[in-house]
Structure 1
Amino acid sequence: MSAPLRVLFCIGINQNFMDGTAGEMKDVWQAFSTMMKSIDELPGVTILGIMDDDRIQVGPSPTAPWTCYIMADCPNYDSVVDACNFFRTIPVGDGEFKLWKYARVEARIGRELVVPE
């Protein structure tokens, strides 16, 4: 069995979120929570940590630095694609729009780097 892929999901908030009403923002947060739970429930995926820098970064993040990051070990490339696909499929509010209207994701795939002894 091969080693899992070490993946950093880099998540940026779009201007559409910033332009939303308080109610729309609440709906986006609920969809965002569903996305995080869905990634955690993917078979073989282990979330190692989640970091949010929204307190020191204000406004949308169309490129790096991103708004938040999820680091996970994923069993294979398809599981990484499945995780990214949640942004395309998870509905926000009444379902007219999906999460990717408000947030974007980019996955960086690497390997675990072990500190030499």
Structure 2
Amino acid sequence: MLGIYPEGTRSPDGRLYRGKTGVARMAIEAAVPIIPVAMIDTHIAQPIGQRVPSRHPIGVRIGEPLQIAAYAGRQDDREALREPTDTVMQAIAALSGQEYVDRDAAQYKHQARA
């Protein structure tokens, strides 16, 4: 089992941003399902810029496994990677209650700094 944050970076504003397709690529290559997991209140336990986490309870919500067998052998197909990635992000949004933004978080952060 491997845990990965599909966004590739911390959310700059608490919303859930578009996932990177690496999660789908790894799952397709390994022929395993993706299990969506939402982490709750991590922004309170360790705000951006804080080096050491505060003592604050963190919630974890685990969704149903997402089967990706239909994408077998398509780990180099951009569309085949985007579809399960978007599905897992929608599942995380439903589990967490976060607003979903169909935009790359790293690009958003970079533009906000400029």
Fold shared by both chains (TM-score > 0.5): no
TM (norm. structure 2) is 0.30
Query: Which is helix-richer, 1 or 2?
Result: 2
Query: Which is strand-richer, 1 or 2?
Result: 1
TM (norm. structure 1) is 0.29
Larger RCO of the pair (alpha carbons < 8 Å, separation 6+): 1
